[in-house]
Chains A and B, each alone.
Chain A
Amino acid sequence: MSFAVELVSPSQRVWSGQAEMVSARTIDGDLGILTGHTQLFGVLVDGTVTIKGTDGSTTDFNISGGFLSVANNRVSILTESVN
């Protein structure tokens, strides 16, 4: 089971593909997303976003604030800048 993930910044699409799990830190605390998550829109704080791809790879991104939206098995992470 997997879902589509997109990590976008204003100037480019940083990461896109299928993933098994995404974890990120919102204002309220850490959040993990698996397939079939309810529709959600959250505010992210500075921190690390981890995307576990279907090919078994795990990628970490350091983001400075942003948003996370989950809808119809599609996750988009919007951030101003990625390191």
Chain B
Amino acid sequence: MGAQLRIYRRRMRSVKATKKITKAMELISASRIVKAQQRVTASTPYSLELTRAVSAIATYSSTNHPLTTPSEKPIRAAILIITADRGMAGAYSNNAIKEGEQLAGLLRERGLETVSYLVGRKAVNYYRFRNRPVAASWTGFSDNPTYENAKEIADSLMNAFIADAQSDVNGVDEIHIVFTEFQSMMTQNAVARRMLPLEVVENSEPIPAGLLPMYEFEPNAGVVLNALLPRYIEARVFNAMLQSAASEHAARRKAMKSATDNADELIKSLTRLANAARQAEITQEISEIVGGADALASASAGSE
């Protein structure tokens, strides 16, 4: 076997091995999207009820709660960026990080300092490589987040928000969240939303039709709001994390599908090249044999 042919065969073997891996990852992600989507759906009733309640209170009561009233002179804003722990998902994490950079730029234009809170190893590595300060980071659960994870994150954000930004360097006046919205299997968008102070009317989750109920509050609106808002933030963070997880799987499936397709292409063109090389070798051998026979024939003819 010729050297050329051997090299082609070796490359084909390696591409085939890679294809097997990407194909497997594609199938795994495809099955996990469905599960992740179900988790998003399962968490919807809870967050919908909370949103309705918060909207009702904000609409019908005149309670002045620090969590609903914007600071007059904001100094600092927290940005929570949700990314993946692992790569192999195309531009998924990069898109979220880029969206976060854009948001930070906008906030700086308004004269605010930004504080970063990160979820996912990809964002952590990005910030560490650039030596940027990070207020807090969480890793290890990006593809399968639990409510406890969301609670932990929401708690630390709430603490920063409750701390007075004027006197405390850890305090923030606004909290923004950057995550990847799961629209469909094919489309996922990185989006930035303000969580606090409340923007009760959300575009993505329209409040169910009909008037908001005129609740009577037990014991009173202030106490209810105090208890409700932390849960509301937790539910928002949890929902964002679940959507991001579904998006991560969808992005990975798409990236792995195109990797598999590319491997197929590569194998096809390598097969063609290997066939040509083999044919060239055979042709050369034949012409060598014919040439050799000719030479022998003419040599023996000359001796007679």
A contact set with B: CB distance below 8 Å: 6, 8-13, 26-28, 31, 38-43, 65, 67, 69, 71-72, 76, 78, 80
Chain B residues bordering chain A, tally (CB within 8 A):
30
Task: Convert B35-47 into 0s and 1s, putting 1 for each residue whose CB lies closer than 8 angstroms to a CB of A.
Answer: 0000100110111
Give the residue of B42, B46, B218, B234 whose beta carbon is less than 8 angstroms from that of A40. B218
The 4 closest A-B pairs by CB, nearest first: A71-B213, A42-B218, A41-B215, A10-B147
A6–B53 alpha-carbon span in the complex (Å): 15
Give the residue of A6, A69, A78 whose beta carbon is less than 8 angstroms from that of B215. A69
What distance in Å separates the Cβ of B64 from its nearest Cβ neighbour in chain A? Answer: 18
Closest to A81 in B: B147
Which A residues are CB-close (under 8 A) to B213?
39, 69, 71-72
Given contacts A39-B213, A41-B218, contact A67 B43 (CB under 8 A): no
Contact A10 B224, beta carbon cutoff 8 Å: no
Which A residues are CB-close (under 8 A) to B214?
39
Which B residues are CB-close (under 8 A) to A80?
147, 231
Given contacts A10-B43, A80-B147, contact A42 B50 (CB under 8 A): no
Give the residue of B39, B50, B150, B224 whose beta carbon is less than 8 angstroms from that of A43. B224
Which B residues are CB-close (under 8 A) to A26?
218-219
Closest to B210 in A: A72
Residues of A contacting B: mostly: strand
The verdict on B228 contacting chain A, using a C-beta distance below 8 Å, is: yes
Give the residue of B49, B147, B227, B235 whose beta carbon is less than 8 angstroms from that of A69. B49
The verdict on B202 contacting chain A, using a C-beta distance below 8 Å, is: no
Which B residues are CB-close (under 8 A) to A10?
43, 46-47, 147, 150, 234-235, 238
Which B residues are CB-close (under 8 A) to A9?
46
Contact A71 B45, beta carbon cutoff 8 Å: no
Contact B218 A8, beta carbon cutoff 8 Å: no
Interface residues of B in 198-221 (CB under 8 A from A): 213-219
Contact A41 B45, beta carbon cutoff 8 Å: no
Given contacts A10-B147, A67-B228, contact A28 B49 (CB under 8 A): no
Which B residues are CB-close (under 8 A) to A39?
213-216
7 additional contacts (CB under 8 A) given A27-B219, A39-B214: A27-B218, A28-B218, A42-B217, A67-B228, A67-B231, A69-B213, A72-B213
A30–B46 alpha-carbon span in the complex (Å): 23
- Would you mind naming 6 contact pairs between A and B with Cβ atoms under 8 Å apart? A8-B49, A10-B235, A26-B218, A28-B218, A28-B219, A40-B217
> Which of A11, A12, A41 has its CB near the most chain B CB atoms (within 10 A)?
A41
Contact A38 B218, beta carbon cutoff 8 Å: no
Give the residue of A8, A12, A43, A71 whose beta carbon is less than 8 angstroms from that of B227. A43
Contact B215 A71, beta carbon cutoff 8 Å: yes
Contact B56 A67, beta carbon cutoff 8 Å: no
What distance in Å separates the Cβ of B101 from its nearest Cβ neighbour in chain A? Answer: 30
Which A residues are CB-close (under 8 A) to B282?
none
